[in-house]
Amino acid sequence: MLAVMTGMTAVTAQGQTPPTSKSYTCYRAEKTISIDGKLDERSWKKAAWTSSFVDIEGDKKPLPLQETRVKMLWDDNYLYIGAQIEEEHIWAYQDKKDQIVYLENDFEVFIDPDGDTNNYYELEINAINNTFDLFLPKPYRKGGRAQLRWDIKGLKSAVTVNGTLNDARNKDQGWFVEIAIPFASLSTENVKPVIPADDSEWRINFSRVNWQQEVDQQGRYSRKRNAETGKIIPEYNWVWSPQGIINMHYPEYWGKLIFSGEKVGKTKGEATAQN
């Protein structure tokens, strides 16, 4: 989420105890994954889910109203990400590439391959598989400016919806997101791609922006407004590894992604998620 574009209050982490980062061991896929939004390959079935998402501030706030969790795999070319998103009302209207996807409900990926808190990448995707991606040479608080024209070349993504999209007449169950990010695409003219190997460690986090919604007379969803002030009610920010503050752009607080050279399910124990 682009803090500078939402009007989010600037937050400093000075003086606060850094949150404990979660970690996930990512095993190699048995075969190339077909990106169809179904997560039905043997490798996906063997891969472990992360723990359920929590509020971005962690224990300071209640647990999310709806569950979100993720699993990951990799091979020589791609990082694979699968997300399960519980959602009673699935809606999305933004259908043009690089629209500000998080102005509706979305799922977001943040990746810092070398873990130095600079030169990191963000991907946002909504329930109709529309994407918004960007590159940041450094965090906003350090003067970083988002490069919105940057794209994840060769990105593959798909969504399946368990319910009725943009239909307020009933409740839905949720949606699945499946993503393949080419390692070679995580680069710019000045930044070379970081290709993982056994025991490589990256920084990664996932966020889910979820808005309270209202429905107009035509049955169209929109972000809910305060009845007295007319202002849009602030969104929920649910994440895998808590930031401790309402700001995703502290990469040093993201979770740890540990690549294993073992095939998923072929180790002494099953693939496991930590924390």
Region 251-263: what's the mean pLDDT? 97
188 compared with 268, residue with greater pLDDT:
188
| 156-215 confidence digits (pLDDT tens) | 999 999 999 999 999 999 999 999 999 999 999 999 999 999 999 999 999 999 999 999
In tens, the pLDDT along 9-59 reads 334 455 567 789 999 999 999 999 999 999 999 999 999 999 999 999 999
Structural domains present in the chain: 18-274 (2.60.40.1190)
d(C-alpha 169, C-alpha 89), whole Å: 10
- 239 with 208: CB under 8 angstroms? yes
132-137-140-146 Cα dihedral, nearest 10 degrees: -30
Detail the DSSP E strand segments found in the chain: 23-28, 54-55, 68-74, 78-86, 106-112, 120-125, 131-136, 156-162, 174-182, 201-210, 213-215, 221-223, 236-239, 255-263, 273-274
pTM above 0.95, yes or no: no
How distant is the alpha carbon of residue 232 from its chain centre?
23
Beta bridge partners of 263: 28
For residue 15, what pLDDT is reported?
56
**8-state DSSP, 147:** B
Asked whether the beta carbons of 79 and 181 are under 8 A apart, the reply is yes
What is the residue whose two structure tokens read 């682009």?
2
